[in-house]
């Protein structure tokens, strides 16, 4: 589930359901029982995301800091309570809204200062209005690390995960293994602008779609993609299948413990050949 768009959507969804009224809080699983006890009866007055970090502000209590990690999930309203729910919130005028948080890497109460420390170690987030992409470019343009690795480094740029990384590299014809400092500035600028658009669409649709209209299933006469990821993408988890643009087999290779996907023809080592 979780790249930055998921977390920003979550902030919105929590805001819409809980803001301004006291919540009931609990931890059916028990691991956040103490925190939930402090939250019970508090009023949500802020919901904010930076990259993959979610911050829920409760008046007089502080911030709940949530990071979903690889497998964390949030479900709302009708979702049944189970014993894996780390944090459950119930709110709304008639208790009609609920949130169940399962499997997070982090769910903790933190202070303003601790929240600031999280912001300080994150790079600019394409989904935040206050994002300044300049420091990200400064790091990328000085680095011998591959662009693929840099895009996943949350200190460089916050919110991009394995799907957006693969897809934005594809959309710009960039060789994933190209060192950051060999990436032309106009290409970087275009990638950043593209991430802003793609990730905003991701928040709205609550899934990742990156395929341009002319390559969409209807336009190409192929069935729509319906897997557990849910969106229409060019290369992510399409190993061995034909590239939607040129027909070359999509490749995969582990890079920094994650599977990288790319089209060797559309993203050649020498950009001039693309």
Partner DNA sequence: AGCGGATGTACAG
Partner DNA sequence: TGTACCTCCGCTT
d(CA 89, CA 107): 13
Q: Does 248 bind DNA (CB under 7 A)?
A: no
Can you read off the two tokens belonging to residue 156?
């460089």
Contacts 24+ apart (CB under 8 A), 212-219: 212/171, 215/244, 215/245
* Catalytic annotation present for 73: no
Q: Does 2 bind DNA (CB under 7 A)?
A: yes
Give start and end residues of each alpha helix (H) in 85-184: 112-120, 134-140, 147-152, 162-171
* Catalytic annotation present for 204: no
List 123, 161, 176, 180, residue binding DNA (CB under 7 A): 161
List 143, 146, 154, 267, residue binding DNA (CB under 7 A): 154
Q: Does 116 bind DNA (CB under 7 A)?
A: no
* Catalytic annotation present for 258: yes
Q: What's the min distance (Å) between Cβ of 156 and DNA? A: 11
Q: Which of 9, 17, 28, 52 is catalytic?
A: 52
Give start and end residues of each alpha helix (H) in 121-238: 134-140, 147-152, 162-171, 185-205, 217-220
Q: What's the min distance (Å) between Cβ of 272 and DNA? A: 29
List 12, 13, 19, 67, residue binding DNA (CB under 7 A): 67
* Catalytic annotation present for 52: yes
Q: Does 6 bind DNA (CB under 7 A)?
A: yes
Q: Does 81 bind DNA (CB under 7 A)?
A: no
For residue 66, give the nearest of 27, 92, 16 by alpha carbon: 27
Please give the radius of gyration of the chain, using alpha carbons only, rounded to the nearest integer.
Answer: 20
4-18 and 185-205 helices, crossing angle to 10°: 40
Q: Which residues are catalytic?
A: 2-3, 52, 258
> Footprint of DNA on this chain (CB under 7 A)?
1-3, 6, 29, 51-52, 67-73, 82, 84, 86, 102-103, 105, 152, 154, 161-163, 207-208, 228-230, 237, 257-259
């Amino acid at each position: 589930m979780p790249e930055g768009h998921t977390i920003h959507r979550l902030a919105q969804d929590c805001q819409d359901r809980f803001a301004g009224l006291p919540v009931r809080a609990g931890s059916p699983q028990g691991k956040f029982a103490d925190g939930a006890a402090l939250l019970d009866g508090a009023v949500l007055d802020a919901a904010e995301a930076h990259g993959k970090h979610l911050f829920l502000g409760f008046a007089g209590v502080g911030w709940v800091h949530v990071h979903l990690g690889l497998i964390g999930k949030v479900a709302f309203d009708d979702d049944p309570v189970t014993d894996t729910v780390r944090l459950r919130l119930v709110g709304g005028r008639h208790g009609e809204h609920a949130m169940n948080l399962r499997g997070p890497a982090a769910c903790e109460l933190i202070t303003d200062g601790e929240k600031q420390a999280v912001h300080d170690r994150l790079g600019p987030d394409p989904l935040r209005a206050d994002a300044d992409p300049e420091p990200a470019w400064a790091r990328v343009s000085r680095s011998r690390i591959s662009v693929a690795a840099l895009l996943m480094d949350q200190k460089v740029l916050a919110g991009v995960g394995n799907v957006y990384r693969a897809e934005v590299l594809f959309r710009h014809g960039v060789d994933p293994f190209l060192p950051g400092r060999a990436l032309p500035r106009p290409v970087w600028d275009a990638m950043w602008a593209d991430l802003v658009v793609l990730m905003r669409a991701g928040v709205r649709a609550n899934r990742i779609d990156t395929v341009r209209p002319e390559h969409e299933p209807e336009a190409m006469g192929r069935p729509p993609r319906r897997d557990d990821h849910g969106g229409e993408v060019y290369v992510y988890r399409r190993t061995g299948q034909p590239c939607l643009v040129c027909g070359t087999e999509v490749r995969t290779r582990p890079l920094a413990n994650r599977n990288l996907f790319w089209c060797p023809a559309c993203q050649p080592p020498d950009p001039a050949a693309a």
